[in-house]
Each structure stands twice: as C-alpha cells, then as structure tokens.
Structure 1
Amino acid sequence: MIGKFILLLSLLLISTTGHVCYKHEGADWETGACASGSRQSPINIITANVREAEDVELFISGTDITTGSILYHDHELKVTYSGATAKYTSEDEDSEWALAQFHYHAPAEHRIDGKTHDLEMHSVFVSKTNPGQLLVVGVIYELEQGYEDDEFIASLALENLVSNPTTGHIENVPMENFYNKFSNTKMYNYKGSLTTPPCTESVEWFVVKEIQKINPSQLGRFTSKWAGLSTFAEGKGSNRVAMDLNRRKVFVTGGEEFMGSFSFSILFIVFLVISVMQIGLAGVFTLKLKSPKNATSQKFAKIPEKDKIEGTERLNADYNYPGVSKPPHKYFQRSISKEI
C-alpha cells in the first residue's frame, strides 16, 4: 500500500495539468522555477565542451507491454507504464529508479550544437528512495527518407489517435528491446529540470548521444498533432526554447566506445610496465655478466701462439677450442648477450 502511494505521489509530481502554451516556445512561462530557476531544461549541448565522465553508468531494463493505453491530450502524448527500471552507478552513488511514464515532443527539445531535430522521447524515472528526485532519458530522432518503419513506434498505433483528447489501446509494445538498445550507451548527462511547468529543478538528465532515424510516415503521426498543426501554437510544435546552461557542466557517460578506449589505455599501461620490467631484468643480467665473480668463473679458449713455418704464420695446433678444428678468429671473444 505504501509503495502504491509513493508511486501515485510520484506521478502527481511529474504530471502537468491544464493547457501548456507553446506559442512562445515556453519563453513566457512564469510558473514556479520556469522564470527564476538556474538549472532549467532543455539546453543546447555544445559537443566540443562536453567532458567525459569515466565513472558514471546507466543501465536500463524493461519488460514488454502486453496491453496498455496511450493518452493524447492537448500538448501530451504519453504512456503511463511502470515495467522498467534504471540503475545509476558512479564513484559516489548506486541508485535505482522506477519508470513512471514516457512521452514525446515534436520538434525535439534538446539542441545538439545548435541544431533542432525532429522528435524527442522522454522516459521519466522516479527514485525508489526519494520520489521527489527524477531521472529522465531523452532519445532524439531525425527524419530520413526511405527509412524502414520502427517496430517500437509502430506498436504505439498512433494512427488511431485522431481526436483530442483520445485514449488509445496499445499492445505487444517491445519495451525490453527498446531499453536494452540504450542501456549504458553513450549519453550526455547534466543536472536540469522538467521541461513543462512547474519546471521543477530535480532532474538528472541523460540524452542518448546517437541520433535515431525515423521515416516521414511515422514522424507525421507526431508532427500532425503539434508542429504540423497550425491551430497548435501556430505550428511551432511542443518543444521549449533552449535555456541557459548557467555554468553547469555537461558530461558524456558510459558506452562501448568509451569502454574500448578505456580498455586500450589499460592495455597500453600494462605494456609499458612489462617493457620497463624487461629492460630492468636485462640490465641486471648484463651487470651479472660483467661482474668479476662471473668473469673468473667463465672458461676462455687459449689464445694460440704464432709459429714461423717456412716464412708463414700459422696458429699453434695446441690451442684449446673444443669441438672446432680451427678457431674462427685469431682472438676469441665472449659473445654479447642479447637484451630482452
């Protein structure tokens, strides 16, 4: 019962009620922190200024929706769903989060190097220990002609949402594959807010770095409700204007690309350590060979004396060089040890 109450309270905290006007893309919102906050979202992510966060990972897992509903009302296109979790790990924290809902904005809200893309999905997670704290994962899409239908978007049956408001029926939504695709991939990470009133500044943002593709037919199911509808905010769409970063830092986390470079760095360090050890061992070995103790213990062949025979020089046959009928050179030398 307490768990259900916490989940209900969380849903109330992250839900917006009433009409949200996008005529000025939210630049005129004066509710709560929307006008006075210093950690507002969305932002324009300047990739050249992004820092790498080597210790942060976000793992997401979910179960498929066998049967459910999707709500289309005013500015909202939302699925209330609790079958996914996120695990956040860093040097200082290990926390778990429960999915409360996911929704869409068209055009996308987060800008990448000043570019506005066509669509953005937000998955809103609530802290299991502190319901007032939220974690939102953004997935950005851009239009590509001829791209095949996305199975996940197709399962939302958006073609059935023809009136406002409408509650549509969905089934067999492949949430497991969808969230597995983005689990611990490269993501931009920063501290921000809700992008709709009251713009509460209690959100840990993760925006998937890789831009997803969407074809014109599927994108039209979203834009027809906002950006392609002249009666909705004069066709400006349902995205808020980018807010000032205000000295916040944006990081990039996790992912195979990072792990690959990290693994290479570790291997390189190991290689250097082994090389230094080998050079050190070679030096010790060489010093041993040069030490007086070792020098006296070594056996050298006798240097032959010269004899005059019929006006020519020859080596005395009484030399000591076992196994060789004649010495290879007038003077025998110890072979130089090869360094390892």
Structure 2
Amino acid sequence: MTYKTHWSYEGKTGPAYWDCLSEEYALCGSGKQQTPIDITNSIKADLPPLIFNYQPIPLIIENNGHSIQITADKAGTLKIGENAYQLLQFHFHSPSEEAINGKRTDMVIHLVHQNIQGELAVVAVLLKAGDLPNSCIETLGDLMPQTQGDAQHHDVQIDINELLPNQKDYYSFAGSLTTPPCSEGVKWVVLKQTVSISPTQLAQYQALYTENVRPLQALNDRKVLSSN
C-alpha cells in the first residue's frame, strides 16, 4: 500500500494524530471497531476450523518505512468455514499490537488475506523469544532490507506454513486495519498458541523496527469469540 499522506508511530505524525493528518484517515479517530484490542474476555463459540492452504513461494521482501513486509499473493488461501481468503502479504510489529490480558508478546506477524468480495481477514501469529529459532524467519532475517525502498526479489523459497503454530485455536472479532486509513470491516483472527523465535531473530528485527505498534483501542460493544 502506498500512502498519500505521511504517518508514523511517534510525534506529530503518530497514532494520536492520524485522524488529523488526512480526511482519508478520519476513521482512526472516529471509528468504533478499531484494532488492536486487549483481549480480556471472550465468549466460547462453535467457530469453524482454520484451513491454511499455503505453498512455498519465492521471496519478495520490502522495507516500507513502517515494517518489513513480504508479498505473498501466490502463496495460497485460508478457509474459514465456507469463506476462502487469498493471502496477499504479511508483515511484522514489535512488540505485538494486540494484547491478551494486558500483555503483549515480543513480536507479531499479521497475515493479510482478502476474499473475492474484497473483504479482509487478518491472522495474527504471536511470537515469543525463546530457545528455538524459526526457520522461515531465519531466511527473512538474513535478507531484510536495512533501509526503506522498493520490494526486493530473491531467488530463495519461503514456506509460510513454518510461521504457524501447531495448534490453531483462536480468538475472532470485528476490527480494522491497524494503520491509516484504519478501515473497518476487517475480520480478525488471533491464534492462541505462540510461535518461538530466537533472541537473535528478535534483535535483527528490532534493529530496524521497535515500537511500530498502534495503542490499544476501545472494544466498545464488540464481542470477542473463542474457538474453545
């Protein structure tokens, strides 16, 4: 996504001012279904299983000035019930934008999908620094562009399945993009099981981006559903 109006995570172009920077960003201030949220209460519901159908793809990686983003529009789909969503891209935030019981994890991956109606579904994979490195992030870490610029194409394959936890239990709620224009109508899926990365992998990303997170937003009258 290219932004007409500059925004950032700090100062006079930071989250507190996003809605003032452009009319297109008005929802960042007035929206009632904004993301990220702190998940403190959820309602157990009979939610459909998540069916990930990803295949390996050549790496297209970009430093867009806000995060490290990987183009993944050839990687496959996610099915939620009868609804199929094509994976478009994924990117990182550190720490995680979403919180569970007031706690954020070290990092998060946001896997952004879209169905044929144009509706977005974002899957959040929470990352924690621990003993085990992640093999896909190992590949990305060595090739992360150090400065903002155009997407770089590499003759190396990545398998996005390696980014997913074994357990696919999840929380789901109606939300928004977490960056301007903060568009609503986004289906959010937050996987409960965290994925381990190594302290070195965390440091590699944080050398480029840390605190690239939006503050937590009011839940208002939304319900958070839990798959178990």
Q: Which TM class, normalised by the smaller chain length?
A: 0.7 to 0.9
Deviation at 1:201, TM superposition (A): 0.3
2:16 paired residue number: 27
Q: Are 1:16 and 1:196, in contact at CA under 8 Å, matched by a contact in 2?
A: no
In 2: Cα distance, 1:55 partner to 1:120 partner: 23
Answering whether residue 134 of structure 2 is matched by residue 150 of structure 1, we say yes
Deviation at 1:225, TM superposition (A): 1.0
Structure 1 stretch 26-35 or stretch 97-106: which is displaced more? Answer: 26-35
Q: Secondary structure at the match of 1:161?
A: coil
Answering whether residue 215 of structure 2 is matched by residue 241 of structure 1, we say yes
2:72 paired residue number: 81
Q: Bigger relative contact order, structure 1 or 2, given CA contacts below 8 A and separation 6+? A: 2
Amino acid in structure 1 at the alignment position of 2:222: R
Amino acid in structure 1 at the alignment position of 2:129: L
Q: Pick the aligned partner of 1:52 from 38, 44, 51.
A: 44
* Cα distance change, pair 223–166 in 1 and its aligned pair in 2 (3 A): farther
In 2: Cα distance, 1:75 partner to 1:57 partner: 32
Note the alpha carbon deviations across 1:268-326, whole angstroms, 9 max, x for none.
xxxxxxxxxxxxxxxxxxxxxxxxxxxxxxxxxxxxxxxxxxxxxxxxxxxxxxxxxxx
Question: Which sections of structure 2, spanning at least 5 residues, go unmatched?
Answer: 20-24
Note the alpha carbon deviations across 1:187-209, whole angstroms, 9 max, x for none.
11000000000100020000111
Note the alpha carbon deviations across 1:151-209, whole angstroms, 9 max, x for none.
01012144552233364444221224445x46x71111000000000100020000111
* Cα distance change, pair 34–44 in 1 and its aligned pair in 2 (3 A): same
Answering whether residue 198 of structure 2 is matched by residue 215 of structure 1, we say yes
1:322 paired residue number: none
Answering whether residue 185 of structure 2 is matched by residue 196 of structure 1, we say no
* Cα distance change, pair 239–36 in 1 and its aligned pair in 2 (3 A): same
Q: Where do 4+ consecutive residues of structure 1 move more than 3 Å?
A: 157-160, 166-170, 176-179
After superposition, residues 34-73 of structure 1 pair within 5 angstroms as: 34-46=28-40, 49-65=41-57, 67-73=58-64
> TM-score, normalized by length of structure 1?
0.60
1:233 paired residue number: none
Question: Which has more radius of gyration?
Answer: 1
Amino acid in structure 2 at the alignment position of 1:106: S
Question: Which sections of structure 1, spanning at least 5 residues, go unmatched?
Answer: 1-14, 228-236, 259-340
Amino acid in structure 2 at the alignment position of 1:215: S
Q: Are 2:63 and 2:150, in contact at CA under 8 Å, matched by a contact in 1?
A: yes
Deviation at 1:242, TM superposition (A): 0.3
Amino acid in structure 2 at the alignment position of 1:173: I
Note the alpha carbon deviations across 1:35-66, whole angstroms, 9 max, x for none.
000000000011xx21111143221110001x
Percent of aligned pairs sharing the same letter: 30
Q: Secondary structure at the match of 1:42?
A: coil
* Cα distance change, pair 127–160 in 1 and its aligned pair in 2 (3 A): closer
Q: Are 2:141 and 2:204, in contact at CA under 8 Å, matched by a contact in 1?
A: no
Amino acid in structure 1 at the alignment position of 2:121: L
Q: Which structure: greater helix fraction?
A: 1
Q: Are 1:135 and 1:203, in contact at CA under 8 Å, matched by a contact in 2?
A: yes
* Cα distance change, pair 198–100 in 1 and its aligned pair in 2 (3 A): same
Q: Secondary structure at the match of 2:137?
A: helix
* Cα distance change, pair 152–117 in 1 and its aligned pair in 2 (3 A): same
Q: Secondary structure at the match of 2:182?
A: coil
Deviation at 1:244, TM superposition (A): 0.2
Amino acid in structure 1 at the alignment position of 2:221: R
